[in-house]
Structure 1
Amino acid sequence: MAKKAGPVDDTAWMKEAFVDVQAELAIKIKRASQSIEHAGTQGSVNEDHWIDIFRAYLPNRYEVATGFVIDSEGNRSEQIDLVIFDRHFTPTLLDQQKHRYIPAEAVYAVFESKPHFDKDYLEYAGGKAASVRKLHRTSVAIAHAGGTFKPKDPFPIIAGIVAPKSSWADGLGASFNKHLPSSLPELLDCGCALNDGAFDNFDGALKLVPKEGALIYFLFRLLSKLQSLGSAPAIDWSAYAAIINKPGIT
């Protein structure tokens, strides 16, 4: 008597397609490293590749761009490679060419795009995250048909790092774990090294996944976390307007 065929895995095609997306991004980054000698230009090209990926998989309510984050007290962050922010309710300010100036209230997440994971780049990304998290964020009540929504408490800003690979022989192993910034304000919540895997601590403990499908896993986990944050706080534009009337400003 012939055996019955086992159940068909209808998700296999989807996994293979997502793995191909990861391979395509890795090839683009490798091509940039082979064809562009200037490190700064190569870095900018790779940032653009990562921005394209984020934009392709995040809903339109989230914008992704390189820029500075600013607050209503006149402070600004260091330049951030990838900022995920609310574009629907919050415009960027003082933009010049590719230099975006993004109100801190609009920011959901910040990422650094680097050539690899190592101790220095992890610390560097943590420092960039801290420069954003220290900024002041306002929040005001929102009027609606039934009354008024109370001001929303600003949510914790997500921070992470992306790269084509890890520099450690064990990938995202003990050395990576040892040097990963794990406390605020330098905390790195998530990241992806295309050739070695992805990580996040969204569930309260560090979770690591291997290389295959790591990019899409990372993006879907990030999307889930962004959804949990809800809408960005309503910005207090009067606080920004007050900057214009400060003594010494004409």
Structure 2
Amino acid sequence: MPQDKKHDLYDFMQQISSEMAAEYDRIQKRATEDPGTAGDQGEENWAELLRDWLPQTYEVVTKGRIISQEGATSPQIDVLVLHETYPKKLLNKKLYLAAGVAAAFECKTTLKAAHISEAMENCAKIKNLYPARVGTPYKELHSPLVYGLLAHSHSWKGANSTPEQNIEQKLREADAAYVTHPRLQLDFLCVADLAAWSSSSMTFIGPRQVPDWSSLASAYGPTGSATTAYVGHARVKDQVDQFTPIGVLISYLSQKLAWENSSLRGLADYYRIANIAGSGSGEMRKWPSSIYSDEIRGRVEAGQLTNGKPWDEWHLAFQ
């Protein structure tokens, strides 16, 4: 049964969702005669939302490219979230140092299937501008950059359309096509009036961790596996009453940023406990233990992981 809880945060999430819907209606009235301006307005809606809900120490800018430490550059990105340490002199240069970018988002007013493939491809290319990290399961499974796709609405509006299923299928297809390592996953897909998906990973589960492995071998393979998933949160039968896709975005974005910025962890925990994201589910993709460096691989295969210990980079699972 849905949780019967009351919290002012739930009202705030509903208010933001209503405002985003109103902005979508307003933008669409002029979209056919000036699609460029419509796109710019949509990007600014998302930028303003991030400015309102992220700590003031983050700078949110629009339309820029990321430059790696070797000088390689990304395609243009709609919205970028910069670390508090970012040099003020460079804030308006539109070419942003990779080490100073915390998150980046592509924005669409009306989501189409092609946008998902494009975002997944861009995500993999841009995350490859960052050196692969070693030392803990968290570092090896994740890029320091959070990357997502945000949309006001979607194109599947017919009477018999199944937009959530269409998006999930496209996510799986694009992930298989472009994501060659878990750290290249798309972190978010949020459709403000429909649902939201957030990346998730499990470090490893195998026969050295589970005495009776035969019961799990069919799911995780004979030697075990790491897994990733896109956990979808939608308005399903057993969803909490307070669910909004924007609540999912704010809650899980705070969690993902907090792994890199410990000062944000208290707020991320607050959102999680208040449950503004509701519940979700997703289909697993299995990965061999060879995705890890040799040192980390031996330890994860041996089950040297924690479970229930907050913000531990050796945890069994990450969201």
TM-score, normalization: structure 1?
0.72
Partner of 1:214: 245
| Superposition deviation, residue 9 in structure 1 | 4.3
| Superposition deviation, residue 93 in structure 1 | 6.5
Instruction: Tell me the secondary structure at the aligned position of residue 115 of structure 2.
Output: helix
Which residues in structure 2 correspond to 1:149-160 (within 5 Å)? 155-160=143-148
Is 1:172 paired with 2:203?
no
**In structure 2, C-alpha distance between the alignment counterparts of 1:93 and 1:118, rounded to whole Å:** 37
* Cα contact 1:93–1:103 (8 A) shared by 2: no
1:108 corresponds, among 89, 96, 102, to 102
* Cα contact 1:162–1:192 (8 A) shared by 2: yes
* Cα contact 2:24–2:153 (8 A) shared by 1: no
Which structure's residues are more often helix, by fraction?
2
* Cα contact 1:191–1:200 (8 A) shared by 2: yes
* Cα contact 1:111–1:159 (8 A) shared by 2: yes
| Superposition deviation, residue 200 in structure 1 | 0.7
What root-mean-square deviation, in Å, do the aligned CA atoms of Structure 1 and Structure 2 show?
2.8
Partner of 1:47: 43
1:82 corresponds, among 79, 82, 93, to 79
**In structure 1, C-alpha distance between the alignment counterparts of 2:197 and 2:127, rounded to whole Å:** 21
**In structure 1, C-alpha distance between the alignment counterparts of 2:117 and 2:73, rounded to whole Å:** 20
| Superposition deviation, residue 72 in structure 1 | 2.8
Q: After superposition, give the CA deviation of every residue in 1:11-53 in whole Å (9 maximum; x if it has no partner).
A: 2x43133212111112112201213521111101110111000
Is 1:33 paired with 2:24?
no
* Cα contact 1:69–1:101 (8 A) shared by 2: yes
Q: Which has the higher mean CA deviation after the structures are superposed, 219-228 or 58-67?
A: 58-67
* Cα contact 2:185–2:199 (8 A) shared by 1: no
| Superposition deviation, residue 184 in structure 1 | 4.6
**In structure 2, C-alpha distance between the alignment counterparts of 1:93 and 1:25, rounded to whole Å:** 32
Partner of 1:226: 257
Partner of 1:243: none
The 1:109/1:119 distance shift into structure 2, 3 A limit, reads: same
Partner of 1:64: 60
Q: Which has the higher mean CA deviation after the structures are superposed, 52-61 or 203-212?
A: 203-212
1:202 corresponds, among 193, 200, 203, to 200
Partner of 2:16: 21
Identity %: 25
Partner of 1:162: 150
Query: How many pairs are equivalent?
Result: 207
* Cα contact 2:24–2:109 (8 A) shared by 1: no
**In structure 2, C-alpha distance between the alignment counterparts of 1:17 and 1:156, rounded to whole Å:** 29
* Cα contact 1:115–1:165 (8 A) shared by 2: yes
* Cα contact 1:111–1:162 (8 A) shared by 2: yes
The 1:184/1:115 distance shift into structure 2, 3 A limit, reads: farther
| Superposition deviation, residue 217 in structure 1 | 2.1
**In structure 2, C-alpha distance between the alignment counterparts of 1:78 and 1:93, rounded to whole Å:** 22
Instruction: Tell me the secondary structure at the aligned position of residue 200 of structure 2.
Output: coil
Q: After superposition, give the CA deviation of every residue in 1:39-72 in whole Å (9 maximum; x if it has no partner).
A: 1111011101110001100112322212111123
**In structure 1, C-alpha distance between the alignment counterparts of 2:34 and 2:9, rounded to whole Å:** 37
| Superposition deviation, residue 118 in structure 1 | 2.5
For structure 1, the residue ranges without an aligned partner over 5 or more in a row are 1-7, 140-151, 232-250
Q: 2:16 corresponds to which letter in structure 1?
A: V
For structure 2, the residue ranges without an aligned partner over 5 or more in a row are 134-138, 202-227, 236-242, 263-319
* Cα contact 1:29–1:49 (8 A) shared by 2: no
